[in-house]
Structure 1
Amino acid sequence: MSLSRNKRPLYQQIKNIIKDRILHGHYPLESNIPPEPRLEEEFGVSKITIRNAIKELVQEGYLETSSGKGTKVIRNTSTSKRSTWKRFTEVLVEEGRVIRKVLLSAEVVIHEEGSRPHALFGDTGLRIERLYELDGKPYIHYSHYFPGWIGEADPSELDAQSLYGWLEEHKVSIAKFRDEFAAASPPPAVAGLLQTGESHPLLKRYRYAYDEAGSVVEYSEGYYHSELQPYVVNYDV
């Protein structure tokens, strides 16, 4: 897996990837993460880089190291009491739910004329599709669109890490997001994946991600089967 060589330290990038894998159940509670040599080979870094990443995750309470027994996942939720903002996934995990993401496809596509991806990125671009399962049931379907200059995506890099971490590795910095919400019936293919009827209205989320120059570098459309779980936003005042 390639990492960005001109962004934040490599061990922090690896720490965030491992943490995302823990959050989404790729490394389940009470299981061991891969041994250091395997992580060194996967990320193409030194032993000290892997150890620094693991050390921080131990300090944050996610991992526990034991001589001769490997490194075990002991927590999959945030341990910081000072953090007042949490991702929706973190909220679900803290409530004891199990959320798993499945990569469906990553390919260069031709955008339909008149569509939002066409208006934003032109005739062609990269599309990544993901399905999120909640307690083993299909819950969210996302289609992510990117401009063609980002190039093709290696599915092995997307299978178990944050999408925005992957963007950062490809030298794309996100400065801000804009979200829009609506009620909409999903396309037939999405309805099939979420096991809902085509005429069944779902919560639809549109997301625009902007770089530091103010250009849209990612646009996504997500359908939430909110009868399984309402979308949650926490506010602290």
Structure 2
Amino acid sequence: MKLNLREGSLYIQVKDILKERIINGQYKVNALIPSEPELEREFEVSKITIRKAVEQLAQEGYVEKRSGIGTTVLANQVVSKLSKGQRFSEYLIGEGHQLRKKFIDLTVVEELSEPLHQLNSKEVYCIERLYILNGKPYIHFRHYISAHIALPKDPEVFVNSLYDMLYQQGVRFYRFKDEFGVSVPEQNVAELLEVEKQPLLQRERYSYDSRDRLVEYSFAYYNTELHKYIVNFNM
């Protein structure tokens, strides 16, 4: 990954990327982040730059350096704000389930309604994906982001972490808000989930940056007959 000096100090860029991975669960709490040599190779920077970035994360309370062991993740900022709730996808994988993502479509939305107007763009991209649980369709997602963001042309990118991809485009996430309800999906969504057209659990997620601007909105349907939606909390 090649960093750009025009975007500021290299160690700050590295720190921000590592922090984003911690917040989004790529680096899990109590797990080790990659070693300094691995990070040097990934970001193509010096050992001093990596050490300074990790030291900043330690000062902010995200990680702890342990001699002879490595650097351990201590806290996830977003998880802490959610009373230390575990990410649902992490729970499923931790329970031994197989979870994979399938890219469905990328379209441009021109007629915007709420909350898409909050994305501050005349046009909005809609990224449609399907989560497959143990070989069966489980969650249907539509992610909406501003058309001002340059998206990769390779569709394979969209089966990986959207947050990592958006970070590379300069998007920075600070907080998330989830709203749950029950509604009947459109016929094509029901077909993708391989269910009858019936009420399903829905989740709306609002993703905000540090200036509290909406930068991503997603709408998801869950087939809870395959698995209930579970949230774990540590007291």
Q: Classify the TM-score, shorter chain.
A: 0.5 to 0.7
The answer (yes or no) to whether the contact 1:204–1:222 under 8 Å persists in 2 is: yes
Give the aligned residue type for 2:164.
Answer: G
Q: CA deviation at 1:171?
A: 1.2
Give, in whole Å, the separation in 1 of the partners of 2:150 and 2:132: 28
Q: CA deviation at 1:114?
A: 3.4
Give, in whole Å, the separation in 1 of the partners of 2:145 and 2:17: 27
Are the structure 2 counterparts of residues 153 and 187 from structure 1 closer, same or farther at C-alpha, using a change threshold of 3 Å? farther
Which residue is equivalent to 1:192?
191
What is the aligned counterpart of 2:13 among 7, 11, 15?
A: 7
TM-score by length of structure 1 reads: 0.65
Give the aligned residue type for 1:173.
Answer: R
Seq. identity, %? 35
Q: CA deviation at 1:119?
A: 5.6
| Alignment deviations for residues 169-208 of structure 1 (CA, whole Å, 9 cap, x no partner) | 111111111111110111111111001122x111110011
Are the structure 2 counterparts of residues 2 and 220 from structure 1 closer, same or farther at C-alpha, using a change threshold of 3 Å? farther
| Alignment deviations for residues 135-156 of structure 1 (CA, whole Å, 9 cap, x no partner) | 0000001000011211333335
Are the structure 2 counterparts of residues 165 and 82 from structure 1 closer, same or farther at C-alpha, using a change threshold of 3 Å? closer
Are the structure 2 counterparts of residues 135 and 216 from structure 1 closer, same or farther at C-alpha, using a change threshold of 3 Å? same
Give, in whole Å, the separation in 2 of the partners of 1:103 and 1:3: 28
Which residue is equivalent to 2:226?
228
Are the structure 2 counterparts of residues 214 and 11 from structure 1 closer, same or farther at C-alpha, using a change threshold of 3 Å? closer
Q: Secondary structure at the match of 2:185?
A: coil
What is the aligned counterpart of 1:210 among 204, 208, 211?
A: 208
TM-score by length of structure 2 reads: 0.65
Residue 98 (structure 1) aligned with residue 98 (structure 2): yes
Are the structure 2 counterparts of residues 191 and 215 from structure 1 closer, same or farther at C-alpha, using a change threshold of 3 Å? same
Give, in whole Å, the separation in 1 of the partners of 2:114 and 2:182: 18
Q: Secondary structure at the match of 1:132?
A: strand
Give the aligned residue type for 1:148.
Answer: A
Which structure 1 residue ranges, 5 or more long, are not aligned?
A: 21-39, 49-58, 61-78
Which residue is equivalent to 2:30?
none
| Alignment deviations for residues 65-115 of structure 1 (CA, whole Å, 9 cap, x no partner) | xxxxxxxxxxxxxx98988543211101111111111111234x1243435
Give, in whole Å, the separation in 2 of the partners of 1:103 and 1:174: 22
The answer (yes or no) to whether the contact 2:200–2:224 under 8 Å persists in 1 is: yes
Q: Secondary structure at the match of 2:210?
A: coil
Are the structure 2 counterparts of residues 213 and 101 from structure 1 closer, same or farther at C-alpha, using a change threshold of 3 Å? same
Give, in whole Å, the separation in 2 of the partners of 1:142 and 1:213: 26
Which residue is equivalent to 2:62?
none
Are the structure 2 counterparts of residues 11 and 233 from structure 1 closer, same or farther at C-alpha, using a change threshold of 3 Å? closer
Q: CA deviation at 1:230?
A: 0.7
